[in-house]
């Protein structure tokens, strides 16, 4: 099972992924998390953030996830992507794939902007920011779309568990 959390920078992918991991790990010992920023770090931050580098980065993540999935691990992925080909590849290559789109309006992300990413891009100090100077292609076939503007982390975690066919069975055990 692969649970792929996607959305623009600042939408809560890592926070929600980590929270989902904490809730599920006691029940699913073979659960792992693959975070886009952690993978960049593992490879020595050798890529930029331009479109070509982002595609290479997602390709790395997909290969790692495929390796883990073949070992029958349950994988939570937290990674920004903005390409229908990526989603199509994931659905074709991960037999139990569940995509969660953390939909947050860009205006909200710019207000939250704790890293100064969006402000820096608007001022011209930072380039290659998805949603600003790299177009964002909203996922169109996500299994779950969550508006992070109106839901808190715990609510989103439980929505993921309830809507995911595999995890909803585990939820029964959580309720007991």
| Mean confidence (pLDDT) of the chain | 92
Per residue in 111-166, pLDDT (tens digit) is 988 889 999 999 999 999 999 999 998 998 899 999 988 889 999 999 999 999 88
Q: Which of 9, 11, 82, 87 is catalytic?
A: 82
Per residue in 27-42, pLDDT (tens digit) is 999 999 999 999 999 9
Amino acid 176: pLDDT:
47
State yes or no: is 9 an active-site residue. Answer: no
Per residue in 66-120, pLDDT (tens digit) is 999 999 999 999 998 767 888 899 999 999 999 999 999 999 999 988 889 999 9
Show me where the domains of the chain are located. 2-104+140-175
CA angle (96, 100, 103) in 5-degree steps: 165
CATH number assigned to the domain covering 2-104+140-175? 3.40.50.300
């Amino acid at each position: 099972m692969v649970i792929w959390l996607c959305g623009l920078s600042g939408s809560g992918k890592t926070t929600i992924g980590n929270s989902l991991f904490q809730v599920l790990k006691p029940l699913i010992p073979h659960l792992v998390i693959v975070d886009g920023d952690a993978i960049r770090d593992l490879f020595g931050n050798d890529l930029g953030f331009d479109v070509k580098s982002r595609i290479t980065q997602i390709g790395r993540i997909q290969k790692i996830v495929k390796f883990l999935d073949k070992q029958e691990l349950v994988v939570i992925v937290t990674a920004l992507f903005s390409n229908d080909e990526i989603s199509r590849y994931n659905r074709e290559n991960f037999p139990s794939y569940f995509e969660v789109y953390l939909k947050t309006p860009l205006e909200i992300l710019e207000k939250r902007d704790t890293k100064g990413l969006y402000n820096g891009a608007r001022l011209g100090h930072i380039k290659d920011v998805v949603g600003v100077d790299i177009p964002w292609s909203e996922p169109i076939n996500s299994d779950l779309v969550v508006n992070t503007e109106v839901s808190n982390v715990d609510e989103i975690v439980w929505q993921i568990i309830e809507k995911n066919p595999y995890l909803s069975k585990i939820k029964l055990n959580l309720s007991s």
